[in-house]
Structure 1
Amino acid sequence: MYLQKARITAIGTYVPERILRNKDLEDMVETSDEWIVQRTGIRERRISSPDQYTSHLCVAAVQDMLHRYNKTVNDVDLIIVATSTPDFPFPSVAAIVQDRLGIQAAAGAIDLSAACAGFAYALHTAHSFIASGLHRKILVIGADTISKITDYTDRTTCVLFGDGAGAALVEQDAEHSSFEAFHLGTEGKGGGHVYRTGLANKLNGVELKDSQLLVQNGKEVFKWAVRTVPEGMKALLEKGGRSMDQVDWFIPHSANLRIIEPVCERSGVPIERTLYSLVQFGNTSAATIPLSLDLGIRDGRVKNGDRLLLYGFGAGLVQAGLLLKLQLDPQINEPLISYQ
């Protein structure tokens, strides 16, 4: 039983200005627009400038949120940034965000590493802190600059990734809760299927490609996701006492449309009730879910009162699902940037 109710009250997003289209990639590697769209569904992605890092995207997403909603963040008592591409190993991106946004020094600041499941994990963590009564107002951000660790000589991975950020406020609420159920899962034995080397270059006794760039075995990740995500969705719905026809929108991690389609088919979710951001932004890792949700809010498809099933999955191999009831505060302004 949760002691305190927690509600997601506001959302904001940001993507860099530079657009990398499929046609542009044709000049970089052996590929084509037709090949990329057929195998991924991606048409373009946003790329951060050389002096633009994850913290910059985080701050811009929060500024979009503050512009759109009657909110402040100076009184936030915890900052959680989900990212796999921090500006530095330390200090944390969350600490940098605290400084740049002028958030009170009494706030905690932590980075959370759960790759493409990071935003769902961060929301779950924020809910836990508020439900326990330990915190009242938490800033949650999912952001990545994956382009900075992408191997642009590898045509199987470089066509997938882009940069972006999404921010949300999670606040204690006397009457309403956004959070209905959660499901987590881990298969650490598959860690060698998606990795970036660090201090160690062996995992489970296997030598890793020590390039400091992202390495992915797409076929193995596909098989794992298509097998485990529908199972996790079923467990999540059972825990929440809901059926799929009671869910208004399915928002999976936007890894690849060819993963989302079989997941929907096996889960009985119409693709028309599925939100994804990959067509415009590619795979932005921890930012894909907030970007997908915000695209739906911006174009009017997603409304307050809608029930959402968020599901993140990625390197680890980890997964995190949340069943949410959307109850945002009223918007006071249009978003700072149009994605049209």
Structure 2
Amino acid sequence: MTVALDRAVAPSHQTGAGLSVPFAIAGTGMHLPPTVVTNEDLTRTLDTSDAWITSRTGIRERRMLAPDLATSDMCLAAARPALEAAGVDPAGLDAVVVASYTGDQPLVSTALIVKDALGAHRALSLDVTQAACASGIQAMLIAAHLLQNPSIGTILLLAADCASRITDPADRTTRVFFGDAAAAVVLTRSHTPGAGLLSYDLGSQLSYDVQIPAGGSKLPASAATVAAGDHYLSMDGRAVWKAATTRLPESIARAAERAGVPLHEVRHFFLHQANLNILTETLATLGIPRQRATVTIDRLGNTGSAGLFTALHTAVAEGSLLPGDTYVLAGIGAGFQWGSLCLRHA
């Protein structure tokens, strides 16, 4: 199927030649907080119903992090099984990259907290934050390019968000969508020619339709901002739907085109788990069978930057991502910022 590409919005950064140093996914991990919040649970405090939530989001339940834990705790819990699967000691890591818009605190770095707790003392620590749900795409792109440096051979990438801390418990517009989770990927250099990043597409269009207004230099925290609820996430659902169902298919089509890979030859699509209806609409626009996109949103909710990596981990754990498979990672986040990566599995 041909997708009309909007050339007028924010020139996309791209590559069509791939990266010269191949790399591989050596291990993955995932952490889900044990507390499950069902749609029925939410109906006790919100003016909503299980049928309404399911029909509009595809979500049946989500996880909530315990009050005494933070995003870094989820990162650590996801990192350890990923490192074990990869056979990598934390001391051997060259970089720890954390994608999250719900870091432990504005300062210090969440990646640094994780690095220190793991004992990855010589690793570079990097935080990728304000692309929100698309931060994982940007983090993966950064990691891919870091691996082109001869001094960097092993990277731990973590995508984690704790949206339960930044959504208003009384707001059904946001509260029903989001869940807490973390996912981890260990990336290493590979000897398999052609493995790793084949191409990418990034785009943006400034919008305040999804935002957290307070807490920065423009609107510092105060008693008034807290009383007004300005530290909670606000979201225009119609604007998100329009942006996501337009930009994601365009971006995926561009990335595949630049890689020289027809969409029907892409084996897996690991998409941002924003909303089941958005995911379904994106696949339909591209003419992609539903079974080629792993879905986790139904049982986890929108887990921000972690979403597409929970889908990736699920495929790896099930053994369905095979050597030589071409796959796409794609997501869109607040801003709006979006992007797609086309990769080949080693």
Note whether the superposition's TM-score is higher than 0.5.
yes
Preserved CA contact (<8 Å) 1:253 1:276: no
Q: Are 2:200 and 1:182 equivalent residues in the alignment?
A: yes
Instruction: Please give the alpha-carbon distance, in whole angstroms, between the structure 2 residues aligned to 1:258 and 1:307.
Output: 25
Partner Cα distance (1:326, 1:21) in 2: 35
Aligned match for 1:129, one of 135, 146, 159: 146
Is 1:313–1:319's contact at 8 Å kept on the other side of the alignment?
Answer: yes
Moved segments of 4+, more than 6 Å: none
Structure 2: segments with no counterpart, 5+ residues = 1-16
Q: Secondary structure at the match of 1:74?
A: helix
Residues 71-102 of structure 1 show CA distances to partners (whole Å, capped at 9, x for unaligned) of 22211111110000000111111100111101
Q: Please name the residue that 1:14 is paired with.
A: 31
Judge which range, 318-327 or 145-154, deviates more: 318-327
Q: CA RMSD in A?
A: 1.7
Matched, 1:112 2:128: yes
Aligned pairs for 1:253-264 within 5 A = 253-264=272-283
Moved more, 33-42 or 266-275: 266-275
AA in 1 matched with 2:81: D
Contact 1:138 1:171 in 2 (8 A): yes
Q: Which amino acid aligns with 1:194?
A: V
1:46 and 2:63 matched: yes
Equivalent-residue separation in structure 2 for 1:24 and 1:326 (angstroms): 40
**One-letter amino acid of the structure 1 residue matched with residue 198 of structure 2:** E
Partners of 2:320 and 2:54 lie apart in 1 by 24
TM-score in terms of structure 1 length: 0.90
Residues 83-92 or 127-136, more deviating:
127-136
Instruction: Show structure 1 runs of 5+ residues with no match.
Output: 328-340
Counterpart of 2:182 in 1: which secondary structure?
strand
- Matched with 2:241 is 222
Q: Distance in 1 between matches of 2:234 and 2:252?
A: 27
CA offsets 1:217-274 (integer angstroms, 9 cap, x no match): 0100110111111111111011100111111111110000111111111111111211
Letter in 2 for 1:316: G
Q: 1:331: which partner in 2?
A: none
**1:236 aligned residue:** 255
Aligned to 2:190: 173
Aligned pair 1:36/2:36, yes or no?
no
Which of 299, 322, 325 is the aligned partner of 2:318? 299
Shift of residue 67 of structure 1? Answer: 3.5
Q: Do the aligned partners of 1:3 and 1:133 also contact (CA within 8 Å) in 2? A: no
How far apart are the structure 2 equivalents of 1:32 and 1:297? 34
In structure 2, the CA distance between the partners of 1:167 and 1:263, relative to structure 1 (3 Å rule), is: same
- Residues 296-320 of structure 1, C-alpha deviation per residue, up to 9 Å, x if partnerless? 2333433333221110111111012
1:180 Cα deviation after fit: 1.3
Amino acid corresponding to residue 16 of structure 1 in structure 2: P
Q: Any conservation in 2 of the 1:16–1:48 contact (CA below 8 Å)?
A: yes
Give deviations 1:182-240, integer Å, cap 9, x for gaps: 1111112x1x11111222249xxxx9x76201110010011011111111111101110
Percent identical across equivalent pairs?
Answer: 33
Deviation at 1:134, TM superposition (A): 4.7
Q: What is the match of residue 249 of structure 1?
A: 268
TM score, norm. by length of structure 2: 0.88
CA distance in 1, matches of 2:38, 2:321: 27
Q: CA deviation at 1:277?
A: 1.2
Contact 2:34-2:63 at 8 Å conserved across structures: yes
One-letter identity of the residue aligned with 1:84: Y
- Do 1:81 and 1:143's aligned partners in 2 also have CA atoms closer than 8 Å? yes
Match of 2:177 among 126, 148, 160: 160
Contact 2:28–2:316, Cα closer than 8 Å, also in 1:
no
* 8 Å contact from structure 2 (residues 248, 339) kept in 1: no
Q: Are 1:3 and 1:132, in contact at CA under 8 Å, matched by a contact in 2? A: no
Name the residue aligned to 1:333.
none
Residues 307-338 of structure 1 show CA distances to partners (whole Å, capped at 9, x for unaligned) of 211101111110121112223xxxxxxxxxxx
Which residue does the alignment assign to 2:209?
193
Amino acid at match of 2:302: N
Counterparts of 1:313-324 in structure 2, within 5 Å, are 313-324=332-343
Question: Do the aligned residues in 2 keep the contact of 1:276 with 1:288 (CA within 8 Å)?
Answer: no
- Give the Cα–Cα distance (whole angstroms) in 2 for the partners of residues 38 and 210 of structure 1: 28
**Which of the residues 50, 62, 77 maps onto 1:60?**
77
